Amino acid sequence: MLSLISLSCGARLSVSRQKLQVQNHLNRLNKPAVKTIQSPDGDIIDCVHLARQPAFDHPFLKDHKIQMRPSYHPEGLFDENKVSDTEKPKKGSNPITQLWHMNGKCPEGTIPIRRTKEEDVLRASSVKSYGRKKHRATPQPRSADPDLVNESGHQHAIAYVEGGKYYGAKATINVWEPKIQQPNEFSLSQLWILGGSFGEDLNSIEAGWQVSPDLYGDNNTRLFTYWTSDAYQATGCYNLLCSGFIQINSEIAMGASISPVSAYRNSQYDISILVWKDPKEGHWWMQFGNDYVLGYWPSFLFSYLADSASMIEWGGEVVNSEPDGHHTSTQMGSGRFPEEGFGKSSYFRNIQVVDDSNNLKAPKGLGTFTEQSNCYDVQTGSNGDWGHYFYYGGPGKNPNCP
C-alpha cells in the first residue's frame, strides 16, 4: 500500500515538475506584449517591442545594436520587377498575406510574435525538443550510404548546387496545403543554405512554408525559418522559438498562417524568399516578397556560414514514419507528381544564387535528388519568364510506392 502511495506521489511530483518546466519555458518565449491580436485561425499574435524579442536572451547579443536595414541588397534583385505588366508572366503569383492581418496590425517599433501555448509545448517529446528538427534532417545528395539517408525517415525531392562559394539564394515557391497522414509528420517546401559537412558540424539556414500539426496544432500552411550550427543537435530552432534570428519587421509573423493557398486547376499563389549575406556586416538577411525585409541571423551564430555557404538546396521534405508498415500518404507540394505541370503540381521558379560580388545569378550545374522517385519526384526546366524552375512533389503512398 505504502509503495503505491509513494508511487502516486512520485507521479504527481513529476507531473508538477513538468508543468513547472513548461511554464518556465513559456515565460521565456512569450515576451510582454504592447498589443495582442487574435487571428481567425486561433493564433494569438503578440506585438513585442523590438528590443524585448527572444533573440536578446542570447548572452552574445546583450549589447548588440540592432541593424534596422541591410547595408546592401544583392544586385539584380529588382530586375524581374522592371518587366512591364503586359510582358509579365500570366502564370504565377497573386498577392498573399497572413491570416492575422484581418484583425489588426502591430505598431511601428514592435514585431509580431506567434504566442506559444501550453499545448504546443506538451505536443513535443520534451520541453528541450520543442521547436527543433530531428538530427540528420538535411537531404544529402549522392550519399555514400543509402541507409543513412532514410535513417531519419525524412524524404526529399530537391534541386541543388554545390562546389562553389555561395552568399545567398532566392526562389519563388508555389504555396499549397498538403495533407498530412500522422500528426508527428510534416510537409514543407523550403530553401537550405548549407555550410560544413553533413557530420556533426553542419551549418544550415532554412526558410519556406510548412504544414506541421506537431509544431502548430493544426494543418495550416505557415511561413517558417530554421537555423542550426551543429547539424540540429543543440543549436537552433524554428522561427523565434530560441534566441538567434533578430526580426526587424512589424508586418510578418514567423510561423503564422499564409493565406490564400493554391487549389488544383484553380488560382495559384506563390511566395518569394531571399536569404543573403550582407557583405559589410556579414549577417545573413531574409526578405519575404518584394517589400518585407524580415531580419537577420547574426554571423557569430555560425562557423562555416560565417564565411560562405558551400551548397544550396531548394525543394520539398516530408517525414515518413511508415505508419502500419507502409509508406506514409503525407503529400509533398500539391500531392501531385511533377509531370502534371502548372496548376496541378507544385513549383519553385526564378531560382537564383548570390555570388561573391553580391550578384543574383542563375544556378550553374543544377542537380536533382530524391530518395524514392515513385513516392516524390522532381523535374527541372528553364524559360524566359521563370528562369530556372522545377516542379516537385507527389502523393507518397501509391501503387508504385507501397
* pLDDT one-digit tens code per residue, 339-364: 999 999 999 999 999 999 999 999 99
The answer to whether 156 and 370 have CB atoms below 8 angstroms apart is: yes
DSSP state letters, 163-197: EEEE-EEEEEEE------SSTT--EEEEEEEEES-
Position 178 confidence tier, pLDDT thresholds 50, 70, 90:
very high
Whether residue 87 lies in the annotated active site: no
- Picking from 116, 118, 112, the residue whose alpha carbon sits closest to that of residue 46 is 112
The answer to whether 298 and 62 have CB atoms below 8 angstroms apart is: no
Q: Does residue 5 surpass a pLDDT of 90?
A: no
Which residue do the cell numbers 520587377 mark? 81
Region 200-229 average pLDDT? 96
Q: Does residue 198 surpass a pLDDT of 70?
A: yes
* pLDDT one-digit tens code per residue, 25-41: 999 999 999 999 999 99
Region 231-253 average pLDDT? 95
Position 79 confidence tier, pLDDT thresholds 50, 70, 90:
low
The answer to whether 318 and 184 have CB atoms below 8 angstroms apart is: no
- Picking from 378, 382, 396, 348, the residue whose alpha carbon sits closest to that of residue 191 is 348
- CA dist., res. 318 & res. 298, Å (int): 29
Q: Does residue 214 surpass a pLDDT of 70?
A: yes
- CA dist., res. 357 & res. 69, Å (int): 19
- Picking from 242, 19, 253, the residue whose alpha carbon sits closest to that of residue 118 is 19
The catalytic residue among 75, 317, 322, 371 is 317
* pLDDT one-digit tens code per residue, 123-146: 998 999 999 987 666 777 765 344
End-to-end CA distance of the chain: 51
Beta strands, E only, 183-283: 187-195, 203-211, 222-228, 237-238, 246-247, 258-259, 270-277
* pLDDT one-digit tens code per residue, 254-306: 999 999 999 999 999 999 999 999 999 999 999 999 889 999 999 999 999 99
Query: How far does CA 73 lie from the centroid of its chain?
Result: 21
C-alpha cell at 188: 514543407
- Higher-pLDDT residue of 92 and 325 is 325
- CA dist., res. 154 & res. 115, Å (int): 28
Q: Tell me the three-class secondary structure of 234-246, residue by residue.
A: CCCEECCCCCCCE
Position 13 confidence tier, pLDDT thresholds 50, 70, 90:
low
Whether residue 322 lies in the annotated active site: no
- Higher-pLDDT residue of 163 and 90 is 163
Q: Does residue 62 surpass a pLDDT of 90?
A: no
pLDDT at residue number 140: 78
DSSP state letters, 356-378: TTSBEEPPSS-EEEES-TTTSEE
Region 101-113 average pLDDT? 96
Burial class, 352, CB count within 10 angstroms (exposed 0-12 / middle 13-18 / buried 19+): buried
pLDDT at residue number 93: 52
pLDDT at residue number 151: 53
* pLDDT one-digit tens code per residue, 362-383: 999 999 999 999 999 999 999 9
The answer to whether 158 and 368 have CB atoms below 8 angstroms apart is: yes
For 216, the 3-state DSSP assignment is helix
pLDDT at residue number 97: 86
pTM of the model: 0.91
The catalytic residue among 177, 185, 206, 313 is 206
Region 196-209 average pLDDT? 91
